Every structure is written in structure tokens, then in C-alpha cells.
Amino acid sequence: MLDSVASIFLSGRNMSRLMEGLAVTLEISVISVVLSMLLGIFVGLAMTSRNRLVLAGTRIYLEIIRVMPILVLLFLFYYSLSKIWGINLSAMSVAILVFTLWGTAEMADLVRGAITSMPRHQRESGRAIGLTESQINRYIIIPQAVRRLLPGVINLTTRMIKTTPFVFFINVPDLVKVGQQIVEITGMRNAMASFWVYGLIFLIYFIICYPISCFSVYLERKWES
């Protein structure tokens, strides 16, 4: 059995190709998660504004992203951008763009929820002890909003990482795409190839995502005390 496993991963450049695929997956994930968090905070704050135009704009953006399957967004941007506007983006850039658009919308909604769910009395109590508005935000509102945000943000992060394999369909050589190519080639002479390759991919996703949820549990415990 070990022989068959070795023949899959050690033949040719299979192992290093898988690692390159992993690097692609991580690159898309990290860049789009970080961009989504930063942009999402601003869009989320905008969603709490009283300006109707701003509200309508952010609302439309959020709803469009919500109802659109990620795959459709990927196809739309990958195949149509160049035809309509003559913009030529690499598949990788399209992947990061689409995932950031999606992540920003979800993050914005989380931020909006965290802020609007804050009891009105928290701000008033801050005022009543003579704090300025910026002190109230800094010491009372933001620390609590961050805590309320955390579970949703962790959930969003792992969901984004788990969804990156969709880039498969616009031919980005991510971990799953590379794995599938390896299975196609080695599968002809090794019936267990799909089990070992996808098993390894499963393990890699687990190793990436599990610590993230552990970290969230740790923080929640720490803040609860």
C-alpha cells in the first residue's frame, strides 16, 4: 500500500505541484480575506449612515452579491470583462476580485449588525460619565463591536477558504485543481489515487481551517471570563 501511495506523490513533480496549488489557494484566501475585512468595515459603517443614497447603494450591492452564485460571478468577470470593457484580468486576479467582492459584502453586513445591535444605553452611559464621542467609540462601542463580530468573522473566513476551489472553473491551478489533474493521470494505473490525493487535500484544508476556529473559541473564552 505504501508503494502505491509513494508512487502517486513521489512520481514526477506531483508533490511540489500540490504545494504550488496550496500556495495559490492560500494566496487567494489570504489576500481576499484581508481585503474583505478592511473594506467590509468601511462599507459596514456606511450601512449605518443616515444618508439614504448611501444606504440604498450599499443595500443593492449586498443583495446582488447575496443572491448571485459565486460561480456565476467568477464566469461573469472572467469571460465578460474583456469583451465589454476590454479589461484583461488574469484568472488569479478575477478570483481575488470576486472573492473580495463577496467577502466585503458579508463582512459589511456583520459590521452593520454588530453596531446596530449595541444597546442605545451603552452610548448614553458613556455620555453620562462625561466621555467625548470619540472616547465612547474607542473605549465602549468598538471593543464590544469587535467581540460581537468575532464569531461571524471567523465563520466567514473559513467559508471563504472553503469556497476558493470554485476557481477551478476559471482554470486557476489551486490545490483542488492540481489534485484533480494528478488523479486523472495517476488514476489510470492506481485505483486508490483519488482516495489518497483528495484525502491529503482534505487534511490540508482541515489543518488550515481548524486552528482558525480554535482561535475563535479561545478568544471567546478569554473575553467571557
Partner 1 sequence: MAQHVLEIRNLHKSFGEREVIHGLDLDVRKGEVVVVIGPSGCGKSTLLRCINGLEPIQQGEIRLNGKSITSGKIKWNLVRQQIGMVFQSYDLFPHMNVMENILLGPLKAQGRKREDVEAEAEALLARVGLLDRKGSFPSQLSGGQKQRVAIVRALCMKPEMMLFDEVTASLDPEMVREVLDVILGLADEGMTMMIVTHEMAFAKAVADRVIFMDGGVVVESAKPEAFFAQPQTDRARKFLNTFQFNEVRHCLEEDDDECLP
Name the site residues for partner 1 (rule: CB under 8 A). 119, 121-122, 124-132, 135, 139-140, 143-144, 147, 223, 225
Closer by beta carbon to partner 1, 144 or else 194: 144
**How far apart are CB 223 and partner 1 at their closest, in Å?**
7
DSSP state of 140: I
User: Would you say 89 and 97 are in contact if contact means Cβ atoms under 8 Å apart?
Assistant: yes
- Of 32, 9, 163, nearest to 105 (Cα)? 32
- Of 165, 169, 159, nearest to 72 (Cα)? 169
Closer by beta carbon to partner 1, 80 or else 132: 132
Closer by beta carbon to partner 1, 86 or else 119: 119
**How far apart are CB 145 and partner 1 at their closest, in Å?**
10
**How far apart are CB 121 and partner 1 at their closest, in Å?**
4
Q: Which residues contact 190 (CB under 8 A, 6 or more apart)?
A: 4, 7, 8
**How far apart are CB 1 and partner 1 at their closest, in Å?**
54
Q: Give start and end residues of each alpha helix (H) in the chain.
A: 2-10, 14-47, 52-67, 70-75, 81-85, 91-116, 120-128, 133-136, 142-163, 175-186, 193-224
**How far apart are CB 111 and partner 1 at their closest, in Å?**
17
Closer by beta carbon to partner 1, 111 or else 167: 111
Closer by beta carbon to partner 1, 88 or else 134: 134
Closer by beta carbon to partner 1, 143 or else 211: 143
CA distance 42 to 48: 10
Q: Which residues contact 168 (CB under 8 A, 6 or more apart)?
A: 174, 176, 177, 180
Dihedral sign, Cα of residue 31, residue 84, residue 57, residue 65 = negative
**How far apart are CB 138 and partner 1 at their closest, in Å?**
9
CA distance 168 to 95: 10
